[in-house]
């Protein structure tokens, strides 16, 4: 009888532990896109933190996802831009823009995000979209739009 009571207490304790575990927090999935909002073909390149170099051609209206990740906080463009820094190569946090003839037009640097002009890493220039959920996760997309003025070569912006 003592063994039966012990087993029942043990079973009750295990059930309590299982049912008392808090649910795992849902995450927010962040997608980062660059969209070509010009009438010209362009290319962009960037390097991931895994040192994978990417070079993508974008026709007018096309976009490319250049980073994805998860956070357990509500989206906040300023904080998420800082998260994006960790998704790109630590020694070169930059995205390069090339003309249709593959001439380097400009380079957007993380460290220059608050400089004058249309800056990819400046949160005010990234549009935030709330996408349909993916399972229990909420999906957000940040989109930086390449504008016609970005295609004007500026030596200061390409150094």
Contact 109, 95 (CB under 8 A): no
11 falls within a domain: no
**How confident is residue 23, by pLDDT bands cut at 50, 70 and 90?**
very low
CA distance 147 to 33: 14
Q: How many domains does the chain have?
A: 1
Q: Residue 96: name the closest of 31, 47, 61, 143 by CA.
A: 47
Contact 123, 77 (CB under 8 A): yes
Which positions ≥6 away from 85 have C-beta within 8 Å?
93, 110, 121
Domain that holds residue 91: 26-158
13 falls within a domain: no
5 falls within a domain: no
18 falls within a domain: no
6 falls within a domain: no
* Range among 55-59, 68-72, 77-81 with highest mean pLDDT value: 55-59
CA dist 132 → 2, 88, 122, 136 (Å): 55, 26, 25, 11
Give the total residue count for the chain. Answer: 159
**How confident is residue 110, by pLDDT bands cut at 50, 70 and 90?**
confident
53 falls within a domain: yes
- Checking if the pLDDT of 109 tops 60, the result is yes
Q: Residue 42: name the closest of 128, 157, 151, 155 by CA.
A: 151
The string of DSSP codes covering 71-108 is ESS---HHHHHHHHHHHB-TT--EEEEE-TT--EEEEE
pLDDT, tens digit, for every residue of 131-153? 777 787 788 888 999 999 999 87
Where do we find the tokens 């979209």?
129
Q: Residue 112: name the closest of 126, 88, 94, 130 by CA.
A: 94
The pLDDT value recorded for residue 136 is 78
3 falls within a domain: no
pTM: 0.74
31 falls within a domain: yes
């Amino acid at each position: 009888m003592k063994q039966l009571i012990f087993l029942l207490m043990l079973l009750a304790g295990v059930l309590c532990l299982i049912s008392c575990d808090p649910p795992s927090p849902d995450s927010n999935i962040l997608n980062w896109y660059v969209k070509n909002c010009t009438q010209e073909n362009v290319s962009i390149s960037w390097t991931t933190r895994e040192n994978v170099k990417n070079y993508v051609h974008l026709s007018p209206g096309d976009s490319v996802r250049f980073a994805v990740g998860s956070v357990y906080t509500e989206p906040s463009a300023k904080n998420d831009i800082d998260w994006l820094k960790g998704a790109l190569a630590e020694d070169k946090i930059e995205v390069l823009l090339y003309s249709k003839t593959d001439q380097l037009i400009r380079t957007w640097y993380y460290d220059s995000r608050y400089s004058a002009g249309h800056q990819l890493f400046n949160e005010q220039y990234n549009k935030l979209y709330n996408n349909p959920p993916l399972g229990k996760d909420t999906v957000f997309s940040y989109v930086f739009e390449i504008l016609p003025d970005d295609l004007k070569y500026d030596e200061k912006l390409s150094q």
